[in-house]
Structure 1
Amino acid sequence: MTNYYLGIDTSCYTTSIAILDQEGNLSQDYRKLLTVKPGGRGLAQSEMVFQHTRNLPGLLEQAVAELPASYQFAGIGVSTQPRPSADSYMPAFLVGHNYARVLGTALKTPVHPISHQENHIYAGLWSSAGPLADDFLALHLSGGTTEIVLVRNSHMKPQLTILGESRD
């Protein structure tokens, strides 16, 4: 049986599923942009929730169809909120979080909640084969978010401090 790790993100404009193999190599990466009506300026949270709810099953079906017949998920990572703070909340992230919780329960697989901001930073570390240092500065660009973030203890659970941000 081959172990894989599932990642789920349901942000403001994209439903995403990624699967890593046990060595940390990207095996599957499926994304679906949420549909904004022509001339529209974004989506209400209720519309995001609706579209993510419709998108997730199909994306997961596509992703697992390409895995070997004998696979199992050793862990599920999921974005559960915009930032790692108690007052950070968006309903769009509930869809992915609840989907991960149901999968985790059904498959007896641990679920690892993470913020969207941390997810971006980890993706940058993964794609650059980093980090080169325990502490570093990260430029976080996501939707309407622009931040300079001090990342401490990047090898474990990082502590993030926003040093500067835009007001958009």
Structure 2
Amino acid sequence: MEKKNIYILAIESSCDDTSAAVLCNKKKLSNVVATQKIHEEYGGVVPELASRAHQQNIVPVVHQALSKANIDKKQLSAIAFTRGPGLMGSLLVGASFSKSLALGLDIPLIEVNHMQAHILAHFIEEEGVKTPPFPFLAMTISGGHTQIVLVRNYFDMEILGETLDDAVGEAFDKSAKLLGLPYPGGPLLDKYAQLGNPKAFPFPTPKVAGLDFSFSGLKTSILYFVQKNVKQNPEFLTEHLNDICASIQYTIIKILMEKLKKAVQQTGIKEIAIGGGVSANSGIRTALKESEKTLGWSTYIPKFEYCTDNAAMIGIVGYLKYKEGAFTDQRVTTKARYSI
């Protein structure tokens, strides 16, 4: 008997990207992302503006995802959506739309944890891309989160360490802002870092017990460093931008890698997967690849498309939950804070 295909429409609206994707089993048929440009002039995401933009974008984005996948909505098996964590107004738009559409089509509704989805994005079927075997260690690094997670299977995850203050993506963006770079500054800092000397300016690394992280102290030291040097030479940032960016990036990666090494020592697990927006950073990717040679790790790095917020990662969790019959009812509420 022929196995019936499962078609999942997935919706992601946790922050400032409106995304919709269609998956056929584990395979992505479409993954559409509408990025909100309005936040650039404010130097960061404005929650009220984000939720309004989601309301404008969600219908055309879903329509485009279905068209690109060449799927009629009547063929859909279920709708998966991000329940949290994220900005409450943004989450509400995606959740309300998903509930209404599931109700209208009389198909199951599946809630997804955004952070779990960053980890399980590795299981989207892609030609030539290997998936991590269980158990593995996942490092989720984004604008809002920094975590090391022990992943025993799809739905058995344990946080071993997380940030005590700022997330690593925030550390990148705020450091870039101190250097006068436009928002979002993280990718620009990475770009300039590739042209500079990572040992030019030493920055302190925080002493934090266990596997937890802290980035607020580093951010403060960068602020004082900039103020002191600009006072002595107003052209300092322009003259040394590449080296400053390289030194900041080197320090942040050093903090992340030291904690990962500690996690490997504690668990004995050498299968390492990364996820989240900051996993697009070239320095982190290089450091992980190096660790395969020097430390004997096996590393798993997602395609760029699945690093930043996207609906395909919500779809793969939706598919895995569908197989388990883990459906949600219409009374489900969104959660700004939502631990895995």
TM bracket, shorter-chain basis: 0.7 to 0.9
AA of the residue aligned to 2:157: Q
Count of aligned pairs:
159
CA distance in 2, matches of 1:89, 1:51: 13
Task: Compute the TM-score of the two structures, normalised by the length of structure 2.
Answer: 0.43
**Mapping of 1:76-115 within 5 angstroms?**
76-82=79-85, 90-115=88-113
The answer to which structure, 1 or 2, has the higher relative contact order (CA under 8 A, 6+ apart) is: 2
Q: State the shift of 1:162 in Å.
A: 4.5
* Shift in CA distance, 163/57, structure 1 to aligned 2, threshold 3 Å: same
In the alignment, structure 1 residue 13 sits paired with structure 2 residue 16: yes
Structure 1: distance between partners of 2:62 and 2:73? 16
What are the equivalent positions in structure 2 for 1:149-160 lying under 5 Å apart?
Answer: 149-154=149-154, 157-160=155-158
**Residue 65 (structure 1) shift:** 2.1
| Separation in 1, partners of 2:73, 2:55 | 27
- List runs of 5+ in structure 1 lacking aligned partners: 83-87
Q: Distance in 2 between matches of 1:80 and 1:167?
A: 23
Measure how far apart 1:47 and its partner are: 1.3
Task: Go from structure 1 to structure 2 and tell me whether the alpha carbon gap of 1:167 and 1:101 turns closer, same or farther (over 3 Å shift).
Answer: same
Deviation at 1:121?
1.2
SS in 2 for 1:91: helix
Query: Take 1:164 and 1:115, find their aligned partners in 2: how far apart are those partners?
Result: 17
| 8 A Cα contact 2:15 2:87, kept in partner | no
Alignment of 1:133-148 (within 5 A): 133=134, 135-148=135-148
Query: Which residue identity does 2:14 align to in structure 1?
Result: S
8 Å contact kept, 1:78–1:96: yes
Alpha-carbon distance change, 34 to 76 in structure 1, aligned in 2, over 3 angstroms: same
C-alpha separation in 1, matches of 2:98 and 2:116 = 17
Identity percentage of aligned residues: 27
Q: After superposition, what is the alpha-carbon deviation per residue over 1:132-154, rounded to whole angstroms, capped at 9, x for unaligned? A: 11x32111122232221222332
Partners in 2 of 1:70 and 1:12 — Cα distance? 25
Q: Which amino acid is the alignment partner of residue 141 of structure 1? A: I
Deviations 1:111-148 (A, max 9, x none): 11011101111212325553411x32111122232221
Aligned to 1:4, which of 3, 7, 20?
Answer: 7
1:49 to 51, 57, 71: 51
1:64-89 residue CA offsets vs partner (Å, 9 max, x unmatched)? 2231458511011111111xxxxx77
Unaligned 5+ segments in structure 2 are: 167-340
> CA separation in 2, counterparts of 1:63 and 1:25?
14
Q: TM-score, normalised by structure 1?
A: 0.82
Paired residue type of 1:118: Q
Larger relative strand fraction: 1
Q: Deviations over 1:87-115 (max 9, x none)?
A: x7733111111111111100111111011
Deviation readout 1:35-83 (Å, 9 max, x if unpaired): 234442222222111111111100111122231458511011111111x
The answer for the alignment partner of 2:118 in structure 1 is: 120
Distance (Å, rounded) in 1 between the aligned partners of 2:119 and 2:49: 27
CA RMSD of aligned residues (A): 2.4
